[in-house]
Amino acid sequence: MTSTTSNRACIIGAGPGGLALARAFKNLGIAFDVFERHSEVGGVWDIENPGTPMYASAHFISSKTLSYFSDFPMPESYPDYPSNREIFDYMKSFAAEYGLKEHITFNTEVTAAEFTNDQWAITLSNGEVKHYRWMVCATGTTWHPKMPAWATETSTFTGEVRHANTYRHMDEFRGKTVLVVGAGNSGCDIVCDAATAGDGAFLSLRRGYHFIPKHIMGKPADVFGDEGPHLPMWLAQRVFAGLLRFINGDITRFGLPKPDHKLFESHPIVNSQVLHCLGHGDLIAKGDVERLDGKDVLFKDGSREQVDLVLCATGYDWIIPYVDTNQFSWKNARPDNHLHMFSRANQQLFALGFTETNGGIYKLFDGMADIIGRAILAQRDDAAAWNKLSTRIHEHTPNLSGGVKYIESERHATYANVDALKSEFKKLRKHMGWQELQMGYFDSAKSKCGAASE
Ligand SMILES: Cc1cc2nc3c(=O)[nH]c(=O)nc-3n(C[C@H](O)[C@H](O)[C@H](O)COP(=O)(O)OP(=O)(O)OC[C@H]3O[C@@H](n4cnc5c(N)ncnc54)[C@H](O)[C@@H]3O)c2cc1C
């Protein structure tokens, strides 16, 4: 069955990004539909969403104080770092507060999206094809697990090897010696579960990292940083590195490698438990893995450990499988969109959520969702405004590093500094004469109901 819809936008995914878009489009009076393959909103935060990387012990990494959607703070009763269940409840309340569910078709996957005759032909898992003038991909970045090469050669290994996105509960570790590979925030959380519930726990790190505690002087680390004097980056790196040395001391004492980069030059590991577990002997730090061998994991330094379960917290491929890759430009296998949202190849294509940054992301999502909505309105109603914006998209290449020289890795190839992003959004709004998001900006989305004009 085929249907045609003009001047309508299609949002794919009803995770936090898709919800932010739905609210912004409703607020701006843009006609839109959302398609979500799962039966509920919330994206990764619904532990029942098949393929989610969520686990029972997961808590927010950024604090509730700086990480809520604009105009919709998290409940007072929430702790500084809410649990995954609390964030999931928050997402559902957000959708209810702004009447977003009526725009979402659940249990419906977008299997293909083709751009023909100046519109998007969107094929749904029920076989239907729908047409839209604009498409926004908000399908997340943690659904296509990436495994190291050695982990695919398991024929001689007697233990189990899997990606961390299959991990749900620390009961899985009972009676087992566990190796977690990768010291990102999830890897660090999970290995501490293993240190608590397992018979033994190892963490394999390829390089040294800085470990930022979740609280500094009784405040969430991001709040502490946000309230503090706003120093130039070079000075902030020195001051905060000194503070970390004061709090953590020499972390090589715990068997960890010395960081090979300055503070803030890699995605922050915000974790107070790893050093605790190492200091109590419940966790042992190891180097890079060479290969699996019988009952053992062999490490590049020649050491070996007997392990029952290897969990690879080794990241994800950022792919958007339902769209031709030529519709976006790419840098080190990550979408390289203007300001992380505008496709450089197709003006009727946007993305939201394909951004990694050093802070809570939901307020950024709000700002981006509103900007995408305004770009759509310009294309719909105001050719001069769209020309102005289009010129900027193609001619302005902002530096989003915030003065930080990020380490060379796939992950950091398109990494953005949160303050640099915010400042670019501000400049864009000024350039286009668009108002800033002030308190109450999204309130009118609550009262708007039914279909917007096309
Ligand atoms: C353990 C953990 C802790 C985290 N902590 C923080 C934190 O403290 N602060 C923070 O800001 N962020 C945190 N994050 C990052 C978090 O992933 C993002 O904040 C957020 O979930 C990204 O939202 P999203 O909507 O872009 O993607 P997702 O949450 O991945 O949602 C994408 C949605 O798209 C749907 N979908 C995918 N493909 C299709 C398709 N083809 N058709 C239809 N639907 C589709 C999926 O089912 C999903 O519902 C954390 C993540 C994890 C895993």
Give yes or no: residues 130 and 163 share one domain.
no
- pLDDT tens per residue across span 306-329: 999 999 999 999 999 999 999 999
* Ligand 1: nearest atom to the Cα of 110: 42
Q: What's the CA-to-centroid distance between 142 and ligand 1, angstroms?
A: 7
190 lines ligand 1 (CB under 6 A): no
34 lines ligand 1 (CB under 6 A): no
Q: Residue 409: is it exposed, middle or buried by C-beta count within 10 angstroms (0-12/13-18/19+)?
A: middle
Q: Residue 276: is it exposed, middle or buried by C-beta count within 10 angstroms (0-12/13-18/19+)?
A: middle
Give yes or no: residues 72 and 198 share one domain.
no
Q: What's the CA-to-centroid distance between 370 and ligand 1, angstroms?
A: 19
Domain boundary among 296, 312, 328: 312
By residue count, the chain amounts to: 454
SS3 134: strand
Give yes or no: residues 114 and 162 share one domain.
no
Residues 6+ apart with CB under 8 A from 401: 415, 416, 417, 420
363 lines ligand 1 (CB under 6 A): no
Query: Which residues lie across from 164 on neighbouring strands?
Result: none
**CATH code assigned at 173:** 3.50.50.60
- pLDDT tens per residue across span 13-31: 999 999 999 999 999 999 9
214 lines ligand 1 (CB under 6 A): no
Question: Under a CB-based contact definition with an 8 Å cutoff, are residues 47 and 56 in contact?
Answer: yes
Of 23, 38, 44, best ligand 1 pocket probe by most atoms within 8 Å of the beta carbon: 44
Confidence of residue 230 (pLDDT cuts 50, 70, 90): confident
What value does the mean pLDDT take over residues 49-69?
97
Domain boundary among 250, 278, 312: 312
Q: Distance between CA 304 and CA 294 in Å, rounded?
A: 11
Which string of DSSP letters, residue by residue, matches 408-433? SSTTTTT-B-HHHHHHHHHHHHHHHT
Nearest C-alpha neighbor of 339 from the set 416, 391, 267, 276: 416
Confidence of residue 354 (pLDDT cuts 50, 70, 90): very high
Q: How many domains does the chain have?
A: 2
Q: Distance between CA 253 and CA 242 in Å, rounded?
A: 17
Give yes or no: residues 165 and 306 share one domain.
yes
159 lines ligand 1 (CB under 6 A): no
* Ligand 1: nearest atom to the Cα of 59: 3
Check: pTM over 0.75? Answer yes or no: yes
Give yes or no: residues 217 and 289 share one domain.
yes
Residue 396, domain extent: 2-144+317-446
Q: Distance between CA 375 and CA 138 in Å, rounded?
A: 17
Give yes or no: residues 294 and 365 share one domain.
no
Mean pLDDT, the chain, rounded, equals: 95
Residues 6+ apart with CB under 8 A from 142: 44, 52, 53, 165, 316
Domain boundary among 287, 312, 337: 312
Give yes or no: residues 227 and 326 share one domain.
no
Q: Distance between CA 13 and CA 138 in Å, rounded?
A: 5
Give yes or no: residues 110 and 153 share one domain.
no
SS3 453: coil
Which string of DSSP letters, residue by residue, matches 23-67? HHHHHHT--EEEE-SSSSSSGGG-TTSTT----TT-B-SS-TTT-
Nearest CA to ligand 1 atom 51: 44
Buried (b) or exposed (e) across 210-223, using 16+ Cβ within 10 A?
bbbbbebeebbbbb
